[in-house]
A and B are shown apart, each in its own frame.
Chain A
Amino acid sequence: MNIIRIPILKLKDFLLVSIQVELDDNTVMRFQEDLVQRISETGASGVVIDLTSVDMIDSFIAKVLGDVVQMTKLMGAYVVLTGIQPAVSITLIDLGITFTGVRTALDLEQGLLLLEEMTGE
């Protein structure tokens, strides 16, 4: 089975991730590993994960995303999820998933501003 690698871009001290593929289980698991690896390699102080193109988050993907956020925090980096679609936010609440303690912003631009604020850069 083909595992799609989600690109992780470096911009100054931050890592930018824009998820633009259909998220299957293997792809999100691979992304989890890739991201912590990239944080370690680059010493990034913050990560933005943009979900603008994601039209569905089920409980498994939500769990993995929540884990990614916690792992990033454990590594000492700040993380912001951006671009969660209105329909996705509604279904997440239907599922009882609130992403407590996860910082979010409306879009990538606001996410970067928030990260700059959080990291003091």
Chain B
Amino acid sequence: MSAQPFRLASGGLIDRSQALSFRFDGKSYGGHAGDTLASALLANGVRLVGRSFKYHRPRGILSAGPEEPNALVELRSGARREPNTRATVAELFDGLEAVSQNRWPSLAFDLLSLNGLFSPALVAGFYYKTFMWPASFWEKLYEPLIRRAAGLGRAAGAEDPDHYEKAFAFCDLLVIGGGPAGLAAALAAGRTGARVILCDEDFRLGGRLLAEKREIDGRPVAEWLAAALAELESLPDVRLMPRTTVFGLYDHGTYGAVERVSDHLPQPQPHQPRQRAWRIQAKRAILAAGALERPIVFPGNDTPGVMLAGAARTYANRYGVLPGRETVLFTAGDDGWATARDIAAAGGKVAAIVDARADADPARKALADRLGARLFAGGVVERARGGRQLDQVTIRDASGATHALACDLLAVSNGWNPTLHLTSHQNGKPVWDEEIHCFVPGTLPAGLAVAGSAAGRFTLATALEDGARLAREALGDLGLSVAAAGPVPAADDEPCGLKPLWRVTGGKGPVFPGKAFVDFQNDVTDADVELAAREGFRPVEHLKRYTTLGMATDQGKTSNLSGLAIMAEQTGRTIPQAGTTTFRPPYTPVAIGALGGHHRGKAFRPVRLAPTHGWSSEQGAVFVETGQWLRAQYYPKPGETDWLATVNREVLAVRETVGICDVSTLGKIDIQGADAAAFLERVYINGWKALPVGKARYGLMLREDGFVMDDGTTSRLGEHHFLMTTTTANAGKVMQHLEFCHQVLWPDLDVGMVSVSEQWAQVTVAGPKARKTLRGVVDPEHDLSNEAFPYLAARAVTVGGGIPARLFRISFSGELAYELAVPAGYGDAMMRALMQAGAPFGITPYGTEALGVLRIEKGHVAGNELSGQTTARDLGLGKMMSSKKDYVGRLMANRAALNEPERPSFVGFKPVDRRERLRAGAHFIGVGKAATMANDEGYMTSVAHSPHLNHWIGLGLIRGGSARIGEQVRAYDPVRGGDILVEICSPVFLDPEGARLHG
């Protein structure tokens, strides 16, 4: 570890007792707790930290904050590699590893900097004008080259090993920014007992106070800050959240924030997330996010060693780092002078002060003299040079004479832009303030006020006043007392005169004048902006999109306004005439992982388990995802290796003896009320009034547009009491639909409904031995004989000695079958009891696969047929449509187009060669006809292997439908290489008379 040659002997807010070691591009360096990677690199004299996007020019550190366009690194390594990380906000920790990016083979020697030689051709939008011939070369040649060269850092590529969390918070007042305005606001509000949250993106609260040598309430800022923070921490309803970036403002006072819980550590503590995404619900909010300093556009302004003046001051005052030994200040306003003063105070030499303003203020002259700096009032820096490290600037004085000065730091100041990003997240347009030469917040989102520099009120005193005043106003709006808000902190006003200078032209370069950068990261130069103006890309959005100005990871924080100013100058307009700069969320980039939270891997979505899941697991069931449910798909027995063998066995068991299957996932809706039957009449296409108590009926419901929505059996448990079942997939949708029908369409009907899907465990017991099996479980006083409990009977019974249950004699399989429902808590016990009762008959559990085979053999429609594109008539269920009543979907279903005979309708299919396998999704083409869209007659919806018939069977929709039974067509399946002959047949493959059902 080398020494830190640029570290000051004392001062700053770093902890000199904590030495940290880190590596950059493989080399070891030392720093201290409280450093950022950028401050530590500067302390070690490392100036060259990155390469630019297009020309691969050497780049250094421009800023000391989130606006950094140049100093982007790949932080950490392996699966934790974080590309494009701004070194200026990356907190230093012991063992930190970072490498520079977008260079090959090395940062100092980057072959792609050859792009610079071609730069005359690589102007804005050059790619739109070439690479067009021949057409196929784009994907093969040009684009791969561009893709490889473009991009910045490399993403990790491996699964992120860290965890993320989501959290929610609610408050009266959210304060965004922990600088003077924010602190004053939080203090005023916190003292009243209001619920306050203060967020700041920095790891240390204080904002600009951390970087300035000022006084508040007559005390040095550090002292005042410590007291303010101590007081805030003592207030029970104030929550301080450093390392938390409020990145977006959403509707109705919702703020998105990301807390960097562990980014300052080598890796997160066990049980701690890396980051936590917050949704903060704030009744009122104050944006006190400060301001961002603006650079000046001049040739060579991207040379490492050219730095924003405020940042240079931050490095000296906050981090105890001398940002340069020989400094030239280039400023357009008063604020830059503080940098000259503080750098000199820190022991740096200020060689010259170039103040673009012509007026020679005597106080400034005196200060320059005191600092021993040459003053060029009315001068400009027309060029910076040095390649990988600034070594010289050319100054043009007020008379036009040029002076070459050696220096290693050029501090640049062109005034500040309010950090008003959040105010434009809801389409608010900033407005230009001619007095202070910047955009200030325009129409504000409801509930948000803007304080201090973020509102363009730049002095320390106004920031403090603003914060305290706006906090009082916000609480007043909420009807909270502000009596205890306390005094407003006081400070002197500092000078903040400014005459902005957007760019310097007219310098005499050698062959090519040096490039002058507007957008550092995207390598957009002033010449590019001029070209855009020349070609008519003048609206600000055209300018941005054509030149890529402001589209880089810094979102143009340091570049948008310069670009706009140059466009205004080129087109003879004022800046506000040229356009406004708005910002889209997020304020700074947010990790995708943070917003994803813990929803990944198996935890992506909740898992719903059937009541008998534990039992099925014990049986070795294979499970399948059906929506959120995990259902038993089949139950392989030892020795069974082929799923089809297992399913065949399960199906045959149902056909020959008895099988059992959990169907609890079906939606169950309890419907009661004097008008319950009338209600069902309106939501189902078939009749319900005549259904006797104690009976079930199959029902079909349509959407209002006339297409089938869902089906299921509904049982009349009492005169005014029905139990509806829905498909698993549509359980929620049907419930919502029924509530709609009741509350919105027919509020006068006396009916109420509630979902009881989770309250009941329900199993199907199907097969010739179903009754005998049930007999062992249902209490003996309930007569289960065919006469007493016939097909479609539905009644309350008891099981296991008095446990309430419901028994339905309904069948999806075509066998003698029952569904038995018990309170969900008894589901597991019911399954075990039924297995025991059925053991003498060889009862066999079956899963969703066998369930599907059984229903396909019987030609029952299910999800594949209820595609939302089919009508009742398409499915052969047209006869159910009552003509005697109005119901949802009636009129639309009767439209002529929905009743044309050419509409594909429902039939069965079997392979002509019985050995062939059918596939759902195959389309039907007439024999001998070309495989074209015009000859497409329909498609196969469902297939199964019928162990009973010992061949594959299918259901599908085909033009002409049942009129074509016996005809052969091709089942055309080119995406799976299939093209086989199938025969159209009845969709009922087994027991068409229904003899088994009634057995």
Do A and B belong to a common assembly? no
B residues contacting A by CB (< 8 A) are none
